[in-house]
Amino acid sequence: MRFRVPRIAPSEITPQEVYLSRRALLAGALATGASAVLPAAEPSPQGAPLNFTVNSQYSVKETPNKFEEITTYNNFYEFGTDKDSPSHEAHTLRTRPWSVNVYGEAEVHGTFDLEDLLKGQALEERIYRFRCVEAWSMVVPWVGIPLSNLLQRFKPTSRAKYVEFTTLYDPRQMPGQRVPVLTWPYVEGLRIDEAMHPLTLMVVGLYGRVLPNQDGAPLRLIVPWKYGFKGIKSIVKIGFTAVQPRTAWNVAAPDEYGFYANVNPQVDHPRWSQASERRIGAPFLAARRPTLPFNGYADQVASLYQGMDLRRYF
Amino acid sequence: MTLTQRYRFIYKPLVFTACLLPLAWLACGAFGWLGVSLGADPVKELEHEAGKTALNLLLLTLAVTPVRELTGLSQLVRLRRMLGLFAFFYVVLHFAIYLVLDLELNFATLGGDIAKRPYITIGFTALLLLIPLAITSTNGMMRRLGRRWQQLHRLVYLIAILGVWHFYWQVKRDIREPLIYVGILALLLGYRVVRAWRRRRAAAALQRGAAAPTAAITSRSGSATAPERT
């Protein structure tokens, strides 16, 4: 007995013609109207192939989940709270042009075009385990750059103890933001040593192609030893701060979602166990597996938390 | 065709079939029949849909009395047992999916969940409380239990509260859908509270009316008939 998810081509999930035609309309409107102030909309690069090298040193040997699974089962509340809402709704997000504002305790500040930020950065594919705080998991072939490579360009000062990330806030593009399920915009953060860790990835692609909108295009964070909600999507701001950022889920329910959110089978969520997880796409009756400390990345990252009470700093 | 025949040959088979439709949909999704897909996590979908169907049927069962009284269609009560038993069926299905497909028969986790996770504790309690109601749903048991049957079956109010609470509590953040259930349950239970209050008032008035002549005579002797509301 095994469920079959019908194969869906990526183009079927979010028909390209639909947003291309919207883009044409928009471009027309811009040309007649506010073209002087607003940059012209560009065609969506979603699904375009990327140039990258495979980083097998940092990749797990497990079989990755199907593209369909990774792109139709998403927690991206900016596009609705059902798992399949983002795959239906995220076509409204315009990912080009895209700029990122850098602020705080660093020598280099300012607003940068995403293309400029990525220029000269070598993209890598890394197959990481992905563990959601809801006790399901996947294996995902991300394409991105180590976050440290990006952050070093801004020359953080010694006062930079944390890095704060912010998602785009625009309810017209992100209709889920009209519903106050979380405090918008979504904010996430890492301690600077976590942010600089070689496993921490700034992701721009999936399965060798430009990241689909529902997975957090055009720029998202992946911290494989932490619960998925730390992996903030559609990032428009990166700040270097001296104080711990007030992160979205931690603000919403501090007793349920900690700032650290390291995957830890010994510290349960107050409402469910974190001792095991179900692998999405695995066969019936063979999907549940034990959750590993730090999601299996303990050898690489446990030292970051030496001497810390991980029950307290969950 | 008499009313009894219409219920037996038309209405009851129709309701029976309707109550099986969610099961048919879940089966299609589970086995990929008729192109029904349950998405990337079919286990959660099966679990949640069975649970929600159970809640829907439980609320429908509770709606029978208000609808009867408000519309005068008193015969509707003939459908109530079937709705209640189907609610029980889907609760058991919901639990079976949770135990077999979600926990994969890990009984240690089941014990831990029931003991430690309040939303599972109350959901499981609701399931246990439904068992005596299902067992005593037959005509024979109704006769045998007499007055106590009704007293026992008032447990359904508690069960419905536990069921809706169980739903509300397991939702991560977006409580809009469980709030709809809370609202409907509040209406259904509120109707009964208002009705009980009105009946008591009517009974008191009746008693007052009946007692009035004597009360006039014995009014000095005590406050037994003192009007509570005038």
pLDDT of residue A41: 55
**A282 interaction partners in chain B (CB closer than 8 Å):** none
Among A253-257, A293-297, B25-29, B220-224, where is mean pLDDT lowest?
B220-224
Chain segment B85-135, per-residue pLDDT in tens: 999 999 999 999 999 999 999 999 999 999 999 999 999 999 999 999 999
Span A122-149, average pLDDT: 98
- C-alpha to C-alpha distance for B163 and B12, rounded to whole angstroms: 26
* CB of A40 closer than 8 Å to CB of A68: no
pLDDT of residue A32: 42
DSSP 8-state code for residue A121: P
Q: Quickly state the pLDDT bin for B213 (edges 50, 70, 90).
A: low
Which stretches of A48-205 are DSSP H helices? Answer: 67-72, 85-89, 114-118, 147-152, 192-196
- C-alpha to C-alpha distance for A238 and A188, rounded to whole angstroms: 10
- C-alpha to C-alpha distance for A115 and B53, rounded to whole angstroms: 49
Span A284-304, average pLDDT: 97
Span B2-18, average pLDDT: 95
pLDDT of residue A56: 96
Span B196-202, average pLDDT: 95
Which residues make Cβ contacts (< 8 Å) with residue A306, sequence separation at least 6?
none
pLDDT of residue B172: 86
| Any domain includes A158 | yes
For A162, the 3-state DSSP assignment is strand
Q: Is A122 on the interface with B (CB under 8 A)?
A: no
Query: In 10 A of CB A134, how many CB atoms?
Result: 19
- The phi and psi torsions of A280 (rounded to 5 degrees) equal -60, 140
Distance of CA B41 to the CA centre of its chain: 29
H-run or E-run covering A139 = strand A136-146
Among A186-200, B48-62, B211-225, where is mean pLDDT lowest?
B211-225
Measured between CB atoms, which of A72, A81, A280 is closest to B174? A81
Q: Quickly state the pLDDT bin for A47 (edges 50, 70, 90).
A: confident
Q: What share of chain A is helix, strand, coil (3-state, %, to 5)?
A: 25, 25, 50
Mutation pick from B172, B175, B176 vs chain A, by most beta carbons of A within 10 Å, is B172
**A276 interaction partners in chain B (CB closer than 8 Å):** 106, 109
DSSP 8-state code for residue A143: E
Strand bridging mode A136-146 / A276-279: parallel
CA-nearest of A112, A211, A198 to A149 is: A198
Length of chain B counted residue by residue: 230
Chain segment B24-54, per-residue pLDDT in tens: 999 999 998 999 999 999 999 999 999 999 9
Res. A154: pLDDT tops 80: yes
Chain segment A202-230, per-residue pLDDT in tens: 999 999 999 999 999 999 999 999 999 99
Q: Is A252 on the interface with B (CB under 8 A)?
A: yes
**Which two tokens mark A139?**
């294996």
Measured between CB atoms, which of B40, B41, B170 is closest to A271? B170
H-run or E-run covering A278 = strand A276-279
Q: What is the ipTM, given to two decimal places?
A: 0.84
| Any domain includes A169 | yes
Residue A14 C-alpha, separation from nearest chain B C-alpha, in angstroms: 16
Considering chain A, what is the average pLDDT of its residues?
90
Residue B203 C-alpha, separation from nearest chain A C-alpha, in angstroms: 47
Nearest CA in chain B to A136: B41
Residues 4-23 of A with CB under 8 A from B: 4-6
Q: If DSSP states are collapsed to H, E and C, what string results for A189-238?
A: EEEHHHHHCCCCEEEEEECCEECCHHHCCCCEEECCCECHHHCCCCEEEE
Span A138-147, average pLDDT: 98
Plot region of B39 (φ>0 → left; ψ -120 to 50 → alpha; else → beta): left
Q: Is A84 on the interface with B (CB under 8 A)?
A: yes
Q: What is the CATH number of the domain that holds A113?
A: 3.90.420.10
**A83 interaction partners in chain B (CB closer than 8 Å):** 39-41
In this structure, the dihedral spanned by the alpha carbons of residues A153, A159, A161 and A162, taken in order and rounded to 10 degrees, is -60
pLDDT of residue A7: 54
Task: State the residue range of the domain holding A83.
Answer: 49-305
Residue B174 C-alpha, separation from nearest chain A C-alpha, in angstroms: 6
Q: How many structural domains does chain A have?
A: 1
Span A29-58, average pLDDT: 69
Query: In 10 A of CB B118, how many CB atoms?
Result: 13
pLDDT of residue B1: 85
> Which residues share a beta bridge with A210?
A205
Mutation pick from B34, B173, B176 vs chain A, by most beta carbons of A within 10 Å, is B173
Chain segment B151-194, per-residue pLDDT in tens: 999 999 999 999 999 999 999 889 999 999 999 999 999 999 99
Chain segment A7-23, per-residue pLDDT in tens: 555 545 554 444 444 44
| Any domain includes A146 | yes
Res. B217: pLDDT tops 60: no
Measured between CB atoms, which of A72, A77, A252 is closest to B39? A72
Span B223-230, average pLDDT: 39
Whether the predicted model's global pTM rises above the 0.90 cut: no
